Amino acid sequence: MMNLYSGTTCPFSHRCRFVLYEKGMDFQIIDVDLYNKPEDIAVMNPYNRVPVLVERDLILYESNIINEYIDERFPHPQLMPADPVMRARARLMLCTFERDLFEHVKALEAGKEKPSEKARTLISEQLIQLSTIFTRTKHMLGDDFTMLDVAIAPLLWRLDHYGIKLGKTAAPLMKYAERIFSRPAFIEALTPSEKVMRK
């Protein structure tokens, strides 16, 4: 059985929980207090961060790596595109999300005012640009729900919590977000602490 060491408010852990529930497989989630982590985490992950996935003698960290492993190990429903070109594009977009969006989440989580304000502005600008995609497509890569939708969903869920306001220009993005939030796997993946993050 897979064990996922998961932070109850961690957006990266949220991604992995979402994929596990989407796959409907047998797994166990071990909740980790981010402010009082057990020593095991530093032993399993040299960066002392969650999520960490353990399956027999395999230990993985970094949410995108964990999620790709789960997707390849349990291919139904497939979340990375089957076509190599589309899969490469998806990986490139995942990399862009990390650098242009989730890199700034660290500043918001740290809670210092000046870096947080800058992070809010940068995230808002990127999300407003992304919004135009959803005037043409249902999901990030077209009609199919993919790993890209999984990757961005925890950030969209936390917009109120992080104090990010997008305005009317982002209406297509917010309609898209509601579609993702209504997925049964997304709802199941939410921890009690995450449920209260959205007004």
Among candidates 194, 147, 164, 43, which has minimal Cα distance to 180?
Answer: 147
Q: Provide the residue type at 50 as one letter.
A: V
pLDDT at residue 111, as a whole number: 82
pLDDT in tens, 148-189: 999 999 999 999 999 999 999 999 999 999 999 999 999 999
> Following DSSP, what letter does each residue of 124-150 receive, concatenated?
HHHHHHHHGGGGT-SBTTBSS--HHHH
Cα(35)–Cα(112) distance, integer angstroms: 17
CA distances from 45 to 38, 48, 54, 60, 61 (A): 12, 5, 11, 8, 7
Cα(13)–Cα(31) distance, integer angstroms: 10
Task: Read off the pLDDT band of 137 (50, 70, 90).
Answer: very high
pTM as predicted: 0.95
Cα(31)–Cα(8) distance, integer angstroms: 6
